Structure formats: structure tokens, C-alpha cells
């Protein structure tokens, strides 16, 4: 009898994290940074990842960047299985499939190179012909509004310009995914908006899927999807869509969802639990169009 297994979890998604676990061992101390995290991101999406300090956001980004490897679970980006990549495949993956932009501009850029030379570098390492490299570098810098920085070194650019050049460096080899770790963390509001605009350009005009780890509500409030991580797991999601109101005006509607994993587990937010004194044992009831969770009080 053939097995009637359904399609593989997230088979259509570009990024699949399935029950992802990352345990750090420092001496005898074990830290479970990711504790069975599920996340699907479709090609073309721009997603913000939010969560308290220590919830596992940077760990997730390092795994997706191929800098670190998961302890257990499954992680796939495009055709790459991040659990089983060889060292050589990892170099190829990091060079061609993902681009990364870090919070500290100094870690993105080389002090003695010009913007053009920095964008050129990853393409040189990938063996792209010189003429094509020049064209690509010029086009990228132009697209995010820093063409005037072409011949400047980092010290001759503002923080926002440096970050936009860093985005171009990350985009140089036409990655499928651009990962950004707190890209506006060190910038003021106006400069942040320019950097966010550059990420949006990368997503909408250059077609890259963007994953941004951020604490900045101006960033998480402007993307179509914000995923919250709590204690190493995805806990809730906010989806935003544009609608036309009764008065004909465009408005953005944001709706919050809880995440249910494949075993059916859902995290009930702390304020909900406290409001109804929900503790270890609750009553579940299937109603016509909803599932109710009630406190365990005698009938």
C-alpha cells in the first residue's frame, strides 16, 4: 500500500524551518536558543522578525546565513539543506544564495575600499567578469540612492549611506535571500527610513526575499508580515494588507494571528492567561466555528 503522506511541510516555500533546534554548550551549561522553531517564508516576501532580547532572533539569522549550523530539525533555503551542507557547499551558499547586512556598519564594510570596490569584491570572488561587475555595482548603488558615494570610502559617508552601500554588497551576487540584522538599530528616524526604503527597493524592484530582524517599530510596522519569536519558537504573526475603506480611502489593516505548530500547539499570550487565570489545565471545546479555551473551574 502506498503511504498517503501529504506534501512535505513548506514544499512551496523558499525558506523552511521545521522544528529547528540550536543548543549552545558552554562548559556544562546548555542554552536552548531555538527550541523547535517553525517558519515558512515564500519567495518575494519581506518579513520582519521581532522578539525580546535573547529570544533567538540572531541565532535564527546566523543559521539562515549559513554561518552557524542547527543542532536538530530541518532548515532549507531554496535547494539547500542547511543541515547537511559540506564546507564547500556552505561557501557557495554564502556567496550566491544569501546576502547579509549587519547592524554595525563597520562589520559590513572595509575602511580602505571605496563603495564601488566593496560591491565589486563579492563578485570578484565569484568570478564575475570585470565589465559586468562595474555595471552591476553602478546599478545597485544607483537603485538605493547612493550613486554619489561610488568613489568614497566608509569614513567619507554618513551612517545611512554606509548601510545602503552594505545592502548593495549583500545584493552583489544576486542572492535569493537578503538577511538584515537590526539594519536601523544605530540610526536616527530619518536615516532609518532611507535604509528601510533601500531594503524595500531590493525586495520590490530587485526581487530578493528579505528577512529583517528588528526592534524598530517603524520597520516592523511597515512590512506585510511580522513574525514574533518567543523563547526560541515562533509565537505570533501580524499580517498587514491594504484595503479600501467605505470612504474610498486606502487603509492598512493589521491582524494578529497565533502560530499553531504541526502538533497543534499554540502559545496563549501571557495577558490572556492572566486575564482568565488560565493555568496548567484548561478546558477545550470545539464549537461550530471556533475552539474555546476556558479556565478549569468546576461546572
Ligand X SMILES: Nc1ncnc2c1ncn2[C@@H]1O[C@H](COP(=O)(O)OP(=O)(O)OP(=O)(O)O)[C@@H](O)[C@H]1O
Contacts with ligand X by CB under 6 A lie at 24, 26, 31, 33, 51, 53-59
DSSP bridge partners of 219: none
Residue 243 contacts residue 65 (beta carbons within 8 Å)? no
- Of the candidates 35, 30, 94, 26, the one whose C-alpha atom is nearest the C-alpha of residue 59 is 35
| Minimum CB distance to ligand X, residue 104 (Å) | 12
Residue 82 Cβ, how far from ligand X at the closest point, in Å?
16
Closer CB to ligand X, residue 200 or residue 215?
215
Give φ, ψ of 252 to 5 degrees.
-100, 125
User: What is the Cα–Cα distance from 100 to 34, expressed in whole angstroms?
Assistant: 20
Least spacing, CB of residue 268 vs ligand X, in Å: 21
Cβ proximity to ligand X: between 59 and 114 the closer is: 59
Residue (71 or 158) nearer to ligand X, CB: 71
| Cβ proximity of 97 and 78 under 8 Å | yes
In whole angstroms, how close is the CB of 55 to ligand X at the nearest point?
Answer: 4
Nearer to ligand X, 34 or 172 (CB): 34
H or E element that contains 280: none
Q: How far apart are the C-alpha atoms of 183 and 30, rounded to whole Å?
A: 29
Question: To the nearest whole angstrom, how small is the minimum distance from the Cβ of residue 84 to ligand X?
Answer: 22
Give me the count of residues in the chain.
Answer: 299
Return the SS3 of 191: helix
* Of residues 24 and 272, the one with the C-beta less far from ligand X: 24
Amino acid at each position: 500500500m502506498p503511504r498517503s503522506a501529504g506534501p512535505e511541510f513548506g514544499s512551496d516555500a523558499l525558506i523552511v524551518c521545521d522544528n529547528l533546534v540550536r543548543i549552545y554548550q558552554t562548559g556544562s551549561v546548555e542554552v536552548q536558543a531555538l527550541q523547535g522553531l517553525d517558519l515558512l517564508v515564500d519567495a518575494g516576501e519581506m518579513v520582519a522578525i521581532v522578539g525580546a532580547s535573547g529570544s533567538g532572533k540572531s541565532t535564527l539569522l546566523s543559521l539562515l546565513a549559513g554561518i552557524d549550523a542547527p543542532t536538530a530539525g530541518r532548515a532549507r533555503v531554496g535547494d539547500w539543506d542547511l543541515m547537511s551542507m559540506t564546507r564547500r557547499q556552505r561557501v557557495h551558499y554564502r556567496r550566491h544564495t544569501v546576502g547579509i547586512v549587519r547592524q554595525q556598519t563597520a562589520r559590513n564594510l572595509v575602511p580602505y575600499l571605496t563603495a564601488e570596490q566593496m560591491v565589486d569584491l563579492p563578485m570578484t570572488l565569484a568570478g564575475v567578469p570585470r565589465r559586468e561587475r562595474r555595471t552591476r555595482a553602478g546599478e545597485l548603488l544607483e537603485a538605493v540612492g547612493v550613486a554619489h558615494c561610488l568613489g568614497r570610502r566608509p569614513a567619507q559617508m554618513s551612517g545611512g549611506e554606509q548601510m545602503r552601500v552594505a545592502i548593495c554588497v549583500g545584493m552583489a551576487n544576486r542572492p535569493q535571500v537578503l538577511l538584515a540584522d537590526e539594519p536601523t538599530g544605530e540610526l536616527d528616524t530619518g536615516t532609518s527610513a532611507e535604509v528601510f526604503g533601500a531594503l524595500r527597493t531590493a525586495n520590490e524592484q530587485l526581487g530578493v526575499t528579505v528577512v529583517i530582524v528588528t526592534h524598530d517599530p517603524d520597520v516592523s510596522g511597515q512590512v506585510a508580515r511580522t513574525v514574533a519569536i518567543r523563547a526560541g519558537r515562533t509565537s505570533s504573526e501580524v499580517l498587514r494588507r491594504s484595503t479600501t475603506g467605505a470612504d474610498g480611502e486606502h487603509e492598512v489593516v493589521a491582524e494578529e494571528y497565533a502560530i499553531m505548530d504541526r502538533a497543534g500547539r499554540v502559545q496563549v499570550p501571557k495577558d490572556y492567561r492572566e486575564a482568565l487565570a488560565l493555568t496548567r489545565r484548561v478546558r477545550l471545546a470545539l464549537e461550530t466555528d471556533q475552539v474555546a479555551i476556558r479556565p478549569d473551574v468546576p461546572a
